[in-house]
């Protein structure tokens, strides 16, 4: 079966750095997305990785290792508004998005 694992919940301090991990086992791989979802709202796109390595975009960076079936989202200089759920999703061999359950990130002052 297809499976995406990410921690259920994480807590971090305002101004700090946090890394949210995602591991996957899917039938094929055509890229990995990270989305941010605030409570009661729809997901918004953060990043897309299809090649190995680190993609940096402002305070957010995303890393991919296809051989390890592993990705992480790195958030720097955390702000209170970063409190949200972060969803990892993999594009499988049928070009469908397989979603992780999401990681709820709680930022404390």
Partner 1 sequence: GAVVSQHPSRVICKSGTSVKIECRSLDFQATTMFWYRQFPKKSLMLMATSNEGSKATYEQGVEKDKFLINHASLTLSTLTVTSAHPEDSSFYICSARGGGSTYEQYFGPGTRLTVT
Site residues (vs partner 1, CB under 8 A)? 30-31, 33, 40-45, 48, 87, 91, 95-97, 99-102, 104
17 vs 106 by CB, closer to partner 1: 106
Q: Which is nearer to partner 1, 13 or 94 (CB)?
A: 94
Rounded distance between C-alpha atoms, residue 44 and residue 66, angstroms: 24
What minimum distance in Å lies between the beta carbon of 104 and partner 1? 8
Q: How far is the CB of 74 from partner 1 (least distance, A)?
A: 20
Q: Could you give phi then psi for residue 104, rounded to 5 degrees?
A: -85, 120
| Paired tokens of 28 | 């094929």
* Phi, psi angles (nearest 5°) of residue 40: 80, 5
């Amino acid at each position: 079966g297809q499976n995406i694992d990410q921690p259920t919940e994480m807590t971090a301090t305002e101004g700090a750095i946090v890394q949210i991990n995602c591991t996957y086992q899917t039938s094929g791989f055509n890229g990995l997305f990270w989305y941010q979802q605030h409570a009661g709202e729809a997901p918004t796109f953060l990043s897309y990785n299809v090649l190995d390595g680190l993609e940096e975009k402002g305070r957010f960076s995303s890393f991919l290792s296809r051989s390890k079936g592993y990705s992480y989202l790195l958030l720097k200089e955390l702000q209170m508004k970063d409190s949200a759920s972060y969803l990892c999703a993999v594009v499988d061999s049928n070009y469908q998005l397989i979603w992780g359950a999401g990681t709820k990130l709680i930022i404390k002052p």
